[in-house]
């Protein structure tokens, strides 16, 4: 058995983005089903209490992943913000993924080395290359960032309870 990465097992920007886009849609489905069970079937709060944090965690992970892939693919701020914003609308991440695919915006691998492209001279690209050179650190940083954001959101409570 070979321990080297094969094309089928390589985690490309396209594959990472797609996995999180699908996961985000699946957790939206779970949350909506939880709300149907709570409000229409009236089985109590437990379906939303289970599905809500799962969806919230995947929502935040998708947002971080969209930002990471957006920087790697040189989407620009508007395109990256649009990718993140699709998570707010139920089931929008998959059509957006298809749109990115049609436009070729998920093509290519990770930008591990600096090129002559002007965007590669920015501190954001330098940070991207650093983290891509240290994938365990990148993974750990992403997990910690997701946990911190989800923890803050849990302290704040459901969005319906946020008041000015």
Q: How far apart are CA 54 and CA 39, in angstroms?
A: 19
Q: Residue-wise over 72-97: b if at least 16 C-beta within 10 A, else e?
A: bbebeeebbebbbebbeeeebbeebb
d(CA 8, CA 36): 38
Structure-block tokens of residue 68: 């990471």
What digits encode the pLDDT tens for the residues 33-82?
A: 999 999 999 999 999 999 999 999 999 999 999 999 999 999 999 999 99
Structure tokens at 88: 């707010």
Which pLDDT belongs to residue 98?
96
**Chain centre to alpha carbon of residue 73:** 14
Q: Which residue has the higher pLDDT, 160 or 140?
A: 140
pLDDT in tens, 77-132: 999 999 999 999 999 999 999 999 999 999 999 999 999 989 889 999 999 999 99
Residue whose tokens read 């290359």: 129
Q: Which residues contact 52 (CB under 8 A, 6 or more apart)?
A: 31, 34, 158
Locus of tokens 């302290």: 155
- Rounded to whole angstroms, the Cα distance separating 152 from 130 reads 27
pLDDT at 1: 43
Terminal-to-terminal C-alpha distance of the chain = 58
The pTM is what? 0.88
């Amino acid at each position: 058995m070979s321990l080297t990465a094969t094309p089928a097992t390589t985690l490309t920007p396209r594959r990472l983005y797609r996995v999180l886009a699908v996961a985000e849609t699946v957790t939206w489905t779970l949350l909506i089903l939880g709300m149907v069970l709570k409000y229409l079937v009236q089985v109590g709060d437990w379906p939303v209490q289970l599905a809500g944090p799962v969806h919230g965690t995947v929502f935040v992970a998708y947002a971080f992943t969209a930002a990471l892939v957006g920087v790697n693919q040189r989407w620009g701020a508007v395109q990256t913000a649009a990718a993140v914003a699709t998570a707010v609308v139920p089931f929008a991440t998959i059509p957006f993924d298809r749109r990115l695919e049609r436009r070729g915006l998920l093509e290519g691998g990770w930008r591990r080395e600096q090129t002559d492209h002007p965007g590669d001279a920015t501190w954001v690209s330098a940070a991207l290359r650093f983290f891509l050179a240290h994938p365990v650190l990148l993974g750990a940083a992403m997990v910690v960032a997701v946990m911190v954001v989800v923890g803050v959101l849990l302290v704040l409570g459901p969005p319906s309870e946020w008041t000015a």
